Structure 1
Amino acid sequence: MIQRLLIGLSLLGGVFAASVHAQEAVAHFGAQGATRSITLRTTTDIAVLAPTMRDFLANRPDLSLRYEQWGSNDLYALTELDCKTGRPGADIVISSGVHQMVKLVNDGCAVSWVSPETQALPDRLRWRDQVWGISREPAVIVYNRNLVPPEDVPDSRFDLLDLLRPEGSRYGGRVATYDIAASGLGFLFAFMDSQEASTFGALMEAFARSGAVATCCSAEIIGGVATGDYLIAYNVLGSYAMQAARSDQRLGIVAPADYTLVLSRAAILPGTEANHDAGDLLDFILSESGQRSMAKVHLASAPSAPLPGADREEDDSRWRLIELGPTLLVAMDQMKTAGFLARWRAAIGE
């Protein structure tokens, strides 16, 4: 239930130095006999980024790559711990919890890298030459095409509120979103909503009153919509939703008409000295070839472009790019986080 969203939210200010971190999966890319190796730690599903890793290594037979997949909070905690001990365990870190990556840069946990590819990024997607936005991914509403009639498809947050407002709504207990205590990305989207939207308080109250479901991750949420366990999912990462919708006609996607948040996954090079192979990987990802590779899995859609697989073309004015920079430190400040938690509790009547 939505109350799960409250548990542990106050921990998001940085009390993550637990001794156990839950690595989700590991994969290896490149030739077995390669003389050099780099480690990538990321929140991105292996299957999603694997084609780009293979493209990067295609002309580098002497290089291999260890790919570690992590949840965003655990990845932040581990990278922070590596920084404190002075022993970085990864050569490059890429996370959807971009506020966490900005905090690591602010704390001196990353090294600079300057190249034509990084300099080509707009100012909004690079900070201190130590954190870079590598993707363009909208936060969308996903719905079940077979179970949600066309007149009920929520085109905006206002429409979603209208669906949940009636007593005994058929959407009660059938709307899902991220558990923001467990998901750094979910927390970021909720926090940005609280800064952006006049509907935030009303929507959270409606979620609580209607028994919305909070769960851990994109795949679980999207799969639940496809099977009909959930009818609608809110603030889902659009890249994963569009990838799933390629092969599952039950999934419909909407970019909210009032505004649509756009995430750019953040990359950093941890430690005090850059690994040049890791810098080359960053440059490849940002290059035309790398972006073309990532576009195949919807990671590199430009904010101004129509959403592939969406129901209709979108107006450019709705896009709200989450900028990388010191403003995101507010989302990592313990006092601000506590205030956000208090407002969240007030919104749902606790």
Structure 2
Amino acid sequence: MIRPLILAALCLAQPAMAQEATRSFGPEAATARLVLRTTTDIAILAPTVEAFVAAHPGQAVDFEQWGSNDLYDLTRRDCLAGRRGADIVISSGVHQMVKLVNDGCATAWRSAATLALPPELRWRDEIWGVTREPAVMVYNRDLVPPGEVPLSRFDLLDLLRPADTPYAGKVATYDIEASGLGYLFAFMDSQEATTFGALMEAFARTGAVATCCSAEIIAGVASGDYLIAYNVLGSYAATAAAANPALGVVIANDYALILSRAAILPPGAAVDSAGAFLEFLLSDPGRRTLERTNLISTAASPDAEDDVASGGRRVLIGLGLPLLIALDQAKTRQFIARWREAFEN
């Protein structure tokens, strides 16, 4: 088992600004090229990019996949240096994207499609929410008895409460220092959940595992290294569960956080190409491609009912000034210190 602080140190020791993957879409001799930088896995977003390229002859897309913290750092550095980088940035670390907008690192775009977004998912005509993805729990159907499947955070606490719990060392969640998304979900939990402090204590006492990536966590549940994963992004979980019947997915019935990945057009972007891509994401054809890869989930709607749990509140993470609280340096240090203290006990 990798303890959170050890894993965080290992992550920090890795080379900075590490690109995870790249792929080019469209003709090599394209008359227009668009640089897309995103935290979204290429395999998940590829059908949408392919549909966009098919609808725009002569357009190519150079796709770069990044971790959320690295993507934020790179976009911020490009902005401060006055250097052209990406033409459009889409990140699950939406608090980081709001900070970029607040710091003047985004270009305005206004259209009927952007104005049609809910007010919570557009701000200053410079940032837009383009997906709808719930945070979920994932469990191993073969190893977690049906009567023990946690349908809420209270149920998860009950599983971890006994001194001899079989779930000790078998629950995984994001490392909030290595993952911008993990930090965001944990911070939002601290605002929403009466169970947050108790969960941190339970995770610490039972040796819960913190790691950086959705794919790694879900693969660990599938293999039986973990029995339950907490606060995993639902798009990846649903895709993995569709391919592997051993995986079960729960949308907690106390409340569910709903993430809408944020898009911005950085300064110096090829605005025509970037704007066309944004418009496609918000169009009916674009949304249908996002639905097919679970980036837009019906389970994210307020009246949704899923197969395992239903009836809980859907808490949409809005895009705007309130998210800057999550990046206030003093509050960040305090929050991470609280997280560390819990895991060190």
How would you bin the TM-score normalised by the shorter chain? over 0.9
1:311 positional shift: 2.7
1:301 positional shift: 1.7
1:20 positional shift: 3.4
Residue among 277, 284, 289 paired with 2:285? 289
User: Where in structure 2 are the equivalents of 1:74-85 lying within 5 Å?
Assistant: 74-85=70-81
Cα distance in structure 1, aligned partners of 2:32 and 2:130: 24
Matched residue, 2:105? 109
The one-letter amino acid of 1:139's match is: A
Report percent identity of matched pairs: 62
1:275 positional shift: 1.5
1:152 positional shift: 0.6
Say whether residues 1:311 and 2:319 are aligned partners: no
CA contact (8 A) 2:130 2:262 kept: yes
3-state SS of 2:157 partner: helix
Residue among 336, 339, 344 paired with 1:344? 339
Cα distance in structure 2, aligned partners of 1:135 and 1:197: 24
Matched residue, 1:136? 132
1:188 positional shift: 0.3
Deviations 1:108-136 (A, max 9, x none): 00010001111110100001110000000
**TM-score relative to the length of structure 1:** 0.93
Say whether residues 1:236 and 2:232 are aligned partners: yes
The answer for unaligned runs of 5 or more in structure 1 is: 12-17
CA contact (8 A) 2:255 2:313 kept: yes
The one-letter amino acid of 1:71's match is: G
Cα distance in structure 2, aligned partners of 1:19 and 1:149: 42
User: Where in structure 2 are the equivalents of 1:18-37 lying within 5 Å?
Assistant: 20-37=16-33
1:321 positional shift: 0.5
1:349 positional shift: 6.1
Cα distance in structure 1, aligned partners of 2:286 and 2:46: 12
Cα distance in structure 1, aligned partners of 2:55 and 2:284: 16
CA contact (8 A) 2:93 2:181 kept: yes
Cα distance in structure 2, aligned partners of 1:273 and 1:293: 24
3-state SS of 1:41 partner: strand
The answer for unaligned runs of 5 or more in structure 2 is: none
Matched residue, 1:38? 34
Cα distance in structure 2, aligned partners of 1:70 and 1:23: 5
1:7 positional shift: 4.7
Say whether residues 1:197 and 2:190 are aligned partners: no
How many residue pairs get aligned? The number is: 340
1:339 positional shift: 1.8
Matched residue, 1:14? none
1:345 positional shift: 4.0
Matched residue, 2:5? 4
3-state SS of 1:80 partner: helix
1:205 positional shift: 0.7
CA contact (8 A) 1:175 1:232 kept: yes
CA contact (8 A) 2:7 2:210 kept: no
Assess, with a 3 A threshold, how the Cα gap between structure 1 residues 274 and 63 changes in structure 2: closer, same or farther: closer
Deviations 1:233-270 (A, max 9, x none): 00000000000111100000100111100000000000
CA contact (8 A) 1:5 1:180 kept: no
The one-letter amino acid of 1:169's match is: T
Cα distance in structure 2, aligned partners of 1:128 and 1:305: 25
The one-letter amino acid of 1:304's match is: S
CA contact (8 A) 1:24 1:71 kept: yes
CA contact (8 A) 1:112 1:274 kept: no
Assess, with a 3 A threshold, how the Cα gap between structure 1 residues 242 and 273 changes in structure 2: closer, same or farther: closer
Cα distance in structure 2, aligned partners of 1:190 and 1:164: 18
Residue among 44, 47, 55 paired with 2:51? 55
CA contact (8 A) 1:205 1:349 kept: no
1:6 positional shift: 9.3
CA contact (8 A) 2:253 2:309 kept: no
CA RMSD, 1 decimal: 1.9
Residue among 129, 144, 147 paired with 1:148? 144
Cα distance in structure 2, aligned partners of 1:95 and 1:7: 21
